[in-house]
């Protein structure tokens, strides 16, 4: 099929509709407002529901209700708005409801800036809401990957009855790239027998709930959730690695910085230094073992993490590398994007050159 | 012998946790009877709040969805928009609806969401142990207003029925109570009317029910009924505040 030029935010909205999403609730915030705008234009024709809510809090709770009622549903926002959604995300994890939540990250903390950043990594992967819960977090690096992952995001959410976050930096949301629409058939998914659709007088009531007032019961609920998260850790790891053969150095980066790392690797190759790029696509669950293996290669002398933050994913890199090679960090925050030259220089410093 | 009265099949057999003298049980019964009489129980999804009625999901014999504090109208919106043919209600207290969930209830009414809200106003936070609510009367004591609610410090209680009645999307708004058999009968008619209007798709409906809290008011159940009639009703007058089925005069 011919390639088409798509803006990231609009591509993600279109990909969601193609993935069978028929319900969107959201609130405007830069740099992701093209998502609700696109949904407002196209969701009615797809026979779905678009609703602009009074707040991000209301939006995530509408998602909570719609998901409970069995709909394939999503919301999107950017960093400060995602903060407001944390309560609802925690409830959805507790009540085990599927949904896709898109975060087109901008600079923080607080109101920060509207420029691209990756400062919400801890919030996405460690949980910004209360309690022991996990989100499946997917971090595409190109607009093609955005649209390819969207179907999978919805399917994983349904399969595991858990929210999935698409973690994009604002660069991915705002830029345009060629996209090829590939047909990705939905996987066989279990019927939503738990949904609150009305008993019809034919079955006992379904209850969507995250309250377990008895501590033993609440503990059992937590242990059961943890067992599910362990299944996810075993089955949902996604990553990409390139240039590993005889690499002197390993870059680790997700999203836009992974593309900066590739550009830096090209600069370094002109100076006779070979750099590989390890790119986590699922940042929860994190590909610790694959990273460890890549870093274990004899040729690799140093691991350099590149982020558009002051250093958050680098914690996971250190866990994965586990001391077998030195790990260093290069990054800029608050909407400033590191240049390939800066990244290449940081790599040389890490190699002692 | 003929059966003259039975517990509504709209309620489960789970034993309720409400305190002696609390009127939540009566209000649950009226909602359950209404759902059965309108023959909508099987297509009803109820949204339970955070507060004294948090376990309502165990008491109503229909599909139930437990919401975060104050968010019931947003959750109900999500459900109703996905299942427009269903009957959706929220059951919320005064802290839930008039404090933490003020935005959600106002905007659900503004959008004319075809849901019914049962708003139980007992002028106090019951579940957490008697703290001041936005509906606590001036001078009324609460654990966080130990000297009585001060007008200067906290302002006067908010009247949600009157406030929501100004919103075009609201189709029916009435305030009732359940302190006497006559009031209970009237409350039942109000609740039935609200659900009927929801079925007709005319817009947002809310019945505010003035309710007792003997435990946190520090009264016997009988004293609480009297206090509600004598002190709460003057501050929260009963009546219909909006009814789109009546032609404007």
- Verify whether the Cβ–Cβ distance A62 to B65 is below 8 Å: no
- For residue A125, what pLDDT band results from cuts at 50, 70 and 90? very high
On whether residue A201 sits in a domain, the answer given is: no
Instruction: Measure the CA–CA gap between B125 and B110, rounded to whole angstroms.
Output: 26
Asked if residue A287 and residue A170 are part of one domain, the reply reads: no
DSSP state of B231: I
Contact indicator for A223, A214 with CB cutoff of 8 Å: no
Asked if residue A332 and residue A249 are part of one domain, the reply reads: yes
| pLDDT of the residue at A351 | 97
Would you call the peptide bond into A221 cis, given omega within 30 degrees of 0 as the criterion? no
Q: Note whether B63 contacts A: Cβ–Cβ < 8 A.
A: yes
pLDDT tens sequence across A279-304: 999 999 999 999 999 999 999 999 99
| pLDDT of the residue at B248 | 59
Q: Which two tokens stand for residue A78?
A: 């950017």
| Number of domains chain A is built from | 2
| pLDDT of the residue at A187 | 76
Q: Within a 10 A sphere around the Cβ of B179, how many other Cβ atoms?
A: 22
Q: Which of residues 99-118 of B touch A (CB under 8 A)?
A: 103-104, 106-107, 111
For B98, residues 6+ apart whose C-beta sits below 8 A from its C-beta are: B105, B121, B133, B134, B135, B158, B160
- Verify whether the Cβ–Cβ distance B78 to A67 is below 8 Å: yes
Distance (Å) of CA A280 to CA A175, A275, B132, B192, B215: 21, 16, 50, 56, 56
How close is the nearest chain A Cα to the Cα of B17, in Å?
Answer: 13
Would you call the peptide bond into B48 cis, given omega within 30 degrees of 0 as the criterion? no
DSSP state of A185: P
Phi and psi at B39, nearest 5°, equal 60, 45
On whether residue A9 sits in a domain, the answer given is: yes
Instruction: Measure the CA–CA gap between A212 and B195, rounded to whole angstroms.
Output: 31
**How many Cα neighbours within 13 Å face the side chain of B89?**
32
How close is the nearest chain A Cα to the Cα of B105, in Å?
Answer: 10
pLDDT tens sequence across A66-110: 999 999 999 999 999 999 999 999 999 999 999 999 999 999 999
3-class secondary structure per residue, B169-204 = CEEEEEEEECCCHHHHHHHHHHHHHHHHHHHHCCCE
Domain of A267, in residue numbers: 240-350
On whether residue A312 sits in a domain, the answer given is: yes
Instruction: Measure the CA–CA gap between B210 and A267, rounded to whole angstroms.
Output: 73
- Enter the pTM of the model: 0.97
Instruction: Measure the CA–CA gap between A65 and B75, rounded to whole angstroms.
Output: 4
Asked if residue A10 and residue A40 are part of one domain, the reply reads: yes
Q: Is the pLDDT of residue A157 over 90?
A: yes
On whether residue B15 sits in a domain, the answer given is: no
Contact indicator for B116, B60 with CB cutoff of 8 Å: no
**What is the pLDDT averaged over residues A146-162?**
96
pLDDT tens sequence across A12-67: 999 999 999 999 999 999 999 999 999 999 999 999 999 999 999 999 999 999 99
| Helix orientation angle between A215-235 and A143-160, rounded to the nearest 10 degrees | 140
Instruction: Measure the CA–CA gap between B67 and B48, rounded to whole angstroms.
Output: 6
Asked if residue A247 and residue A231 are part of one domain, the reply reads: no
Assign A277 to helix, strand or coil.
strand
Q: What is the CATH number of the domain that holds A291?
A: 3.40.50.920
**What is the pLDDT averaged over residues B105-129?**
97
Contact list in B for residue A70 (CB cut-off 8 A) is 82
On whether residue B248 sits in a domain, the answer given is: no
| pLDDT of the residue at A188 | 87
Largest CA distance in chain B: 61
Contact indicator for A74, A103 with CB cutoff of 8 Å: no
Averaged confidence pLDDT in chain B: 97
Contact list in A for residue B83 (CB cut-off 8 A) is 69, 197-198
How close is the nearest chain B Cα to the Cα of A170, in Å?
Answer: 28
Domain of B102, in residue numbers: 24-243
Q: Is the pLDDT of residue B147 over 60?
A: yes
On whether residue A27 sits in a domain, the answer given is: yes
| pLDDT of the residue at A312 | 98
**What is the pLDDT averaged over residues B113-124?**
98
On whether residue B18 sits in a domain, the answer given is: no
Asked if residue A74 and residue A125 are part of one domain, the reply reads: yes
Instruction: Measure the CA–CA gap between A277 and A251, rounded to whole angstroms.
Output: 5
pLDDT tens sequence across B159-204: 999 999 999 999 999 999 999 999 999 999 999 999 999 999 999 9
What percent of chain B has a predicted confidence (pLDDT) above 90? 98
**What is the pLDDT averaged over residues A177-197?**
91
pLDDT tens sequence across A201-233: 999 999 999 999 999 999 999 999 999 999 999
Q: What is the CATH number of the domain that holds B229?
A: 3.40.50.970
**For strand B44-48 and strand A282-284, is the pairing parallel, antiparallel, or unpaired?**
unpaired
Listed residue (B3, B26, B34) closest to B225, CA to CA? B26
How close is the nearest chain A Cα to the Cα of B138, in Å?
Answer: 31
Q: What is the CATH number of the domain that holds A31?
A: 3.40.50.970
Out of A25, A54, A198, name the one closest to residue B78 (CB): A25
DSSP state of B42: G
Asked if residue A211 and residue A278 are part of one domain, the reply reads: no
Asked if residue A253 and residue A152 are part of one domain, the reply reads: no
Asked if residue A259 and residue A123 are part of one domain, the reply reads: no
pLDDT tens sequence across A315-326: 999 999 999 999
- Verify whether the Cβ–Cβ distance B79 to A196 is below 8 Å: yes
∠ Cα B37 B39 B42 (to 5°): 130
């Amino acid at each position: 099929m011919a390639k088409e030029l798509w803006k990231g935010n609009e591509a993600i909205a279109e990909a969601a509709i193609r993935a069978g999403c028929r319900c969107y609730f959201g609130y405007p915030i830069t740099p992701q407002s093209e998502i609700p705008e696109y949904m407002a234009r196209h969701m009615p024709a797809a026979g779905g529901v678009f609703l602009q809510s009074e707040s991000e809090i209301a939006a995530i709770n509408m998602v909570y209700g719609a998901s409970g009622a069995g709909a394939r549903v999503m919301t999107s926002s950017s960093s400060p708005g995602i903060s407001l959604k944390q309560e609802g995300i925690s409830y959805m994890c507790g009540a085990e409801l599927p949904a896709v939540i898109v975060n087109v990250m901008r600079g923080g903390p607080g109101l920060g800036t509207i420029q691209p950043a990756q400062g919400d990594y801890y919030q996405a992967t460690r949980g910004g809401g209360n309690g022991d819960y996990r989100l499946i977090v997917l971090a595409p690096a190109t607009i093609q990957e955005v649209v390819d992952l969207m179907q999978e995001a919805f399917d994983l959410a349904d399969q595991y009855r858990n929210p999935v976050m698409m973690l994009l930096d604002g660069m991915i949301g705002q830029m345009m790239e060629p996209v090829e629409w590939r047909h990705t058939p939905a996987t066989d998914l279990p019927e939503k027998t738990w949904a609150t659709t009305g008993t019809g007088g034919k079955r006992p009531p379904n209850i969507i709930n995250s309250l377990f007032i008895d501590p033993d019961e609440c503990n059992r609920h937590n242990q059961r959730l943890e067992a599910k998260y362990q299944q996810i850790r075993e089955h949902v790891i996604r990553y990409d690695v390139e240039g590993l053969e005889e690499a002197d150095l390993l870059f680790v980066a997700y999203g836009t910085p992974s593309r900066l790392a590739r550009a830096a690797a090209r600069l370094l190759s002109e100076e006779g230094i070979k750099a590989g790029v390890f790119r986590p696509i699922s940042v929860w669950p994190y590909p610790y073992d694959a990273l460890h293996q890549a870093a274990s290669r004899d040729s690799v002398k140093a691991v350099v993490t590149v982020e558009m933050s002051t250093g958050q994913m680098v914690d996971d890199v250190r866990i994965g590398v586990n001391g077998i090679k030195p790990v260093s960090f290069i990054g800029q925050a608050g909407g400033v994007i590191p240049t390939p030259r800066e990244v290449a220089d940081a790599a040389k410093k890490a190699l002692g050159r | 012998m003929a059966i003259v009265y039975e517990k509504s099949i709209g309620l489960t057999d789970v034993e309720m946790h409400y305190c002696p003298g609390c009127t939540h049980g009566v209000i649950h019964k009226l909602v359950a009877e209404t759902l059965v009489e309108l023959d909508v129980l099987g297509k009803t999804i109820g949204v339970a709040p955070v507060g004294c009625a948090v376990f309502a999901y165990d008491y109503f014999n229909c599909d139930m969805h437990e919401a975060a504090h104050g968010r019931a109208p947003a959750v109900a919106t999500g459900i109703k928009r996905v299942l427009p043919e269903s009957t959706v209600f929220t059951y919320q207290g005064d802290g839930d609806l008039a404090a933490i969930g003020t935005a959600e209830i106002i905007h659900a009414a503004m959008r004319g969401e075809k849901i019914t809200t049962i708003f139980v106003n007992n002028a106090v936070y019951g579940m957490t142990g008697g703290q001041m609510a936005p509906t606590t009367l001036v001078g009324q004591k609460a654990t966080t207003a130990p000297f009585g609610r001060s007008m200067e410090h906290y302002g006067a209680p908010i009247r949600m029925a009157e406030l929501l009645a100004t919103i075009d999307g609201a189709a029916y708004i009435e305030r009732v109570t359940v302190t006497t058999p006559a009031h209970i009968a009237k409350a039942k008619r109000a609740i039935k009317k609200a659900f009927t209007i929801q079925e007709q798709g005319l817009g947002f409906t809310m019945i505010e029910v003035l309710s007792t809290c003997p435990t946190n008011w520090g009264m016997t159940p009988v004293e609480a009924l009297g206090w509600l009639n004598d002190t709460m009703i003057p501050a929260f007058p009963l009546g219909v505040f909006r009814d789109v089925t009546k032609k404007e005069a």
